[in-house]
Structure 1
Amino acid sequence: MAIKEIHKVAVIGSGSMGHQIAMLCSLGGFETHIQDLEQDALNQAKEQLEKHMNKWIQKEKITEIKKDEAFARLHMTTSLEDAVRNADLVIEAVVEKLDVKREVFSKLDGLVPEHTILATNSSTIVNSKLAEFTTRPDRVLNMHFFYPPLVMDCVEVVMSEQTSKETAQTALEFCDRIGRTGVLLEKEIYGFIANRLLFAISKEALYLYEEGYADFKDIDLITKKALKHPIGPFELMDLSGIDVGYYGNMQLYQETGDPKDKPAKSVEDKVKAGNLGRKTGKGWYDYT
């Protein structure tokens, strides 16, 4: 499928990633539908997008007319069937749990046209684990956007052994159309590129903290001052969601059985307490 054949896009999940990915698609000129199980979640997504676009207007990144046109192309629904009907590209952005994503892909495969590309925004789960629950493994791939998608200019486009070159090329061209730099990974690997680098830093930071070498705030400070990172590893966990990293680690541990791949105890404690970072008001830091 060539990029000129993509007209309608559906994004499944209206959370912190999903609603911003959908807005990028709409701003890129595509008819875009966001689906979520909860109407309240969709209402919150619309409210957040209004705030983002109003800020863009203030900064003269977009005009009032362009904003109105984008919202006119953006549709929200709780019906999966309505969202994906006649969709040319579906981007899944639900919770980072393999069983949930497999259920979604299985449903999508039976609802969308034969030509439709199914993409997962997963930051850790390789698409071949989802493609096997469809009849179109050649049209399944990862399109991993980075948080927050309206700001971050990168999308990891990941092929499995069965993903066709045409599918990958279409995804890369689509990224260009929505103003994002698509980077192709021709082989699957857990965590892809960026997150594997971040995982290594995060894992070492958690080790140093839990072993009492330094407070997490000081580890963040050293990372920013000495290594010139814009934010520290603990601040980054709060920004992206502590639960996202936790579920990613759990998925890896289930695959390898290696105790070293289990989430750190301090991370597990925060997930159990519901302190997931900025989105809950408290994580490593307090945002209340």
Structure 2
Amino acid sequence: MTLDDIEGVLVVGAGSMGSQIAMQAALHGYRVTLNDLTTELLEQAMKGNREQLARRVAKGQMTRAQMDEAVARIRLETDLDRAARDADLYYLLEEGVAAFPFKLADFSGLDIGYNARLETYQVTGDPKDAPPKALEARVTRGQLGRKTGKGFYDWSTTPPTPTTD
């Protein structure tokens, strides 16, 4: 896939960074789905985007029509499965970069990551390739991430909270 093949962009997380990525993608002609846990969070993000775009219009940096077209390209969705249907490119954002690998692992399934690391370790025999103990423990307990409700995050809470076990 090349950039020319991308039509739909999914941004998971409508905080400051996520809302800006969604806005920039829409300004560049992409169809964007912005996903977060509540309608209120999504509406707050779009309110901020509209205000920022209105300032650009007031300064003559873009036209009102360009603003309206960009805003129209952004669809708000609280259901992640529906949000992901038409996406060619995904962004997952929350709590800064540090949370990204763990939340992404929970989204894809901890068993998937565990099995990939285990297979690599079995081929190489290098201890650096072995699955981390924290990952192995969660998989052994059946805590596979979002699909089971618990992994590195507890998905029964809104917003999901990091687990400590």
Q: TM-score range by the shorter chain?
A: 0.5 to 0.7
**Aligned equivalents of 1:79, 1:56: Cα separation in 2:** 31
**Aligned equivalents of 1:104, 1:22: Cα separation in 2:** 19
Q: Which has the higher contact order (CA 8 A, sep 6+)?
A: 2
Q: Contact 2:32–2:75 at 8 Å: present in 1 too?
A: yes
Q: Structure 1 residues 72, 100: closer, same or farther in 2, change over 3 A?
A: same
Describe how 1:84-163 pairs up with structure 2 within 5 A.
84-96=84-96, 98=98, 101-107=101-107, 109=108, 132=113
Q: Which amino acid aligns with 2:53?
A: M
Q: Structure 1 residues 68, 6: closer, same or farther in 2, change over 3 A?
A: same
In structure 2, what is the equivalent of residue 35 of structure 1? 35
Q: Deviations over 1:22-42 (max 9, x none)?
A: 000000000001101122111
Q: Which amino acid aligns with 2:81?
A: E
TM-score, normalisation: structure 1 = 0.36
**Aligned equivalents of 2:64, 2:41: Cα separation in 1:** 25
SS in 2 for 1:17: helix
Q: Structure 1 residues 10, 65: closer, same or farther in 2, change over 3 A?
A: same
CA RMSD of aligned residues (A): 2.5
Instruction: Percent identity, please.
Output: 31
**Aligned equivalents of 2:64, 2:21: Cα separation in 1:** 20
The yes-or-no answer on 1:57 pairing with 2:72 is no
Task: Give the CA deviation at 1:77.
Answer: 1.1
**Aligned equivalents of 1:102, 1:78: Cα separation in 2:** 21
Q: Which amino acid aligns with 2:25?
A: C
**Aligned equivalents of 2:88, 2:76: Cα separation in 1:** 17
| Structure 1 runs (4+) greater than 6 angstroms displaced | none
Q: Which amino acid aligns with 2:41?
A: A
SS in 2 for 1:20: helix
Q: Structure 1 residues 133, 50: closer, same or farther in 2, change over 3 A?
A: farther
**Aligned equivalents of 2:114, 2:46: Cα separation in 1:** 31
Q: Which amino acid aligns with 2:13?
A: G
In structure 1, what is the equivalent of residue 146 of structure 2? none
Task: Give the CA deviation at 1:132.
Answer: 4.3
Q: Which amino acid aligns with 1:42?
A: L
In structure 2, what is the equivalent of residue 78 of structure 1? 78
SS in 2 for 1:90: strand
**Aligned equivalents of 2:27, 2:79: Cα separation in 1:** 23
**Aligned equivalents of 1:43, 1:60: Cα separation in 2:** 25
**Aligned equivalents of 1:133, 1:39: Cα separation in 2:** 34
SS in 1 for 2:94: coil
Q: Contact 1:106–1:134 at 8 Å: present in 2 too?
A: no
Q: Contact 2:105–2:113 at 8 Å: present in 1 too?
A: no
In structure 1, what is the equivalent of residue 69 of structure 2? 69
TM-score, normalisation: structure 2 = 0.61
